[in-house]
C-alpha cells in the first residue's frame, strides 16, 4: 500500500502505473500515474461501472466518442457514466500526472 499519493512516484514509467487503494464489492479506488501516456490509439474505454476521477497533480485530457474533450488540472474532477466511451488523449510529458479514480456501481 502506498503511504502518500503524491510522494515516492515511480522514477521510470514505461507504462501508466495503477495502484489500488480501496477494493470493495461495489467500489474501487485507484491511483493512476501518467507521464505523457495516453490510452491505446485504437478503441475506447467502455466501462461497466461509473467512474469519478480527479486530477491531484499534473494535467491530462479526456475525450469522449461524442466529440467532447475536457482538460483537467489539479483539483478538476469529472464524472463518467458507465459505458460512456472515452479515452485519455494527452497527459503532460514533462511531469507526472496523478489521477484518483473511483469506480462504482
Cβ atoms of 53 and 98 within 8 Å: the answer is no
- Joined grid coordinates for residue 16: 501508466
Is 81 a binding residue for its own copies by CB under 8 A? The answer is no
Q: Is 93 helix (H, G, I), strand (E, B) or coil?
A: coil
Least Å distance between CB 83 and its own copies? 15
Cβ neighbour number for residue 65 with a 10 Å cutoff: 12
List 11, 25, 66, 94, residue binding its own copies (CB under 8 A)? 25
Is 19 a binding residue for its own copies by CB under 8 A? The answer is no
- Joined grid coordinates for residue 81: 457514466
Binding window for its own copies (CB under 8 A); candidates: 32-40, 47-55, 59-67, 86-94: 47-55
The C-alpha atoms of residue 34 and residue 50 are separated, in whole angstroms, by: 21
Binding window for its own copies (CB under 8 A); candidates: 38-46, 60-68, 74-82, 87-95: 74-82
Task: Give the nearer residue to its own copies in terms of CB position, either 50 or 84.
Answer: 50
Amino acid at each position: 500500500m502506498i503511504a502518500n499519493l503524491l510522494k515516492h512516484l515511480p522514477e521510470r514509467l514505461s507504462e501508466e502505473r495503477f495502484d489500488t487503494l480501496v477494493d470493495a464489492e461495489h467500489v474501487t479506488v485507484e491511483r493512476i500515474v501518467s507521464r505523457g501516456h495516453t490510452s491505446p490509439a485504437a478503441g475506447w474505454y467502455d466501462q461497466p461501472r461509473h467512474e469519478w476521477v480527479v486530477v491531484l497533480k499534473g494535467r491530462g485530457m479526456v475525450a469522449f466518442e461524442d466529440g467532447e474533450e475536457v482538460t483537467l488540472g489539479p483539483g478538476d474532477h469529472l464524472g463518467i457514466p458507465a459505458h460512456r466511451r472515452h479515452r485519455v488523449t494527452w497527459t503532460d510529458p514533462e511531469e507526472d500526472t496523478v489521477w484518483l479514480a473511483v469506480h462504482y456501481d
